[in-house]
Amino acid sequence: MNLLIDIGNTNLHWARQDAAGLGPMTGVRHGGGLPLDLLAAWEALDPPRRVLVGNVGGADLGETVARVVRAYWGLEAQFAVTRRDCLGLRVAYAQPTRLGVDRWLALLGALGRGAAAALVVDVGTAATFDVLASAGQHLGGLILPGLTMMRDSLFAGTRIPPGEPEPTDEPWAADTGAAVATGSLHALAALAERLHQRLWDRLSESAGAGSAPPPALLITGGDGPRIAPLIARPLELVPELVLCGLARLASTQWRPEN
């Protein structure tokens, strides 16, 4: 059994991987530390063979996880590091390590699900959009504030009273707080549609005669289910996509120094 850990800016998710595949994902808010219920759950686990970690939550939290792994199982946690070429994925960045490891792992996860081309949208503390063309070529991506950060920055930078920032079922609102909440949801959903269409157009141009099949649209992250209903095209919600990328690494002889 392998233990796979995804440390985000706000939440920590983990799952076990065994011969049957990836198990159920469990998530907690970490607040910069490891909650007691998480420690109790890990203490009850059968000893893993390997522990792989994707960490964008900061060096201190990563070191805390590493210490717990040593104390519980006598293992060294293996922290994923973005590589230019790995398991069929080629990163577009001139400096690959500047691509967040969570984004890289999500792209590896998308390839592992058989996506020939895809737009990968991760809606968490930040909202990231990564474009994957055919044959594993990453074209680049975009980063925006996530829903909470987008709303908070607007309220902080204006004199708009926050009110009750609950979105409406309509694409507009008759209250300022609801207008901000609804607007942030539609902004991210509309960008997902726009980038997906741009990618599809590009693939069709490259295909020559006829139109290329539509690329996959994969939505992940804690707020993914909030924007998914607003996107007017086929998509897949894959909350565990980063862990899927870690699972691909764990199924190989990959090591951080490779």
The annotated binding site for K(+) is made up of 122
Question: For residue 105, what are its two tokens?
Answer: 């792992």
Q: What token pair was written down for 39?
A: 């420690």
Q: Binding site: which residues?
A: 6-13, 93, 100-103, 122, 125, 176
The 10 Å Cβ neighbour count of residue 71 is 10
Cβ atoms of 162 and 177 within 8 Å: the answer is yes
* Helix locations, the chain, DSSP H: 36-43, 59-73, 101-112, 147-157, 176-207, 224-227, 241-250
Looking only at the bridges linking them, the beta strands covering 11-18 and 21-22 are antiparallel
Assign 3-class secondary structure to 42-91: HHCCCCCCEEEEEECCCHHHHHHHHHHHHHHHCCCCEECCCCCEECCEEC
Q: Which helix (H) or strand (E) holds 132?
A: strand 126-132
102 is annotated as an active-site residue: yes
Three-class DSSP category at 217: strand
Q: Which residues are part of a known binding site for substrate?
A: 93, 100-103, 176
Question: Can you say which residues are annotated as belonging to the binding site for ATP?
Answer: 6-13, 125
* Residues sharing a CB contact under 8 Å with residue 14, sequence separation 6 or more, in sequence order: 3, 4, 5, 6, 25, 26, 27, 42, 243
Q: Which listed residue (102, 152, 169, 223) is catalytic?
A: 102
> Active-site positions?
102
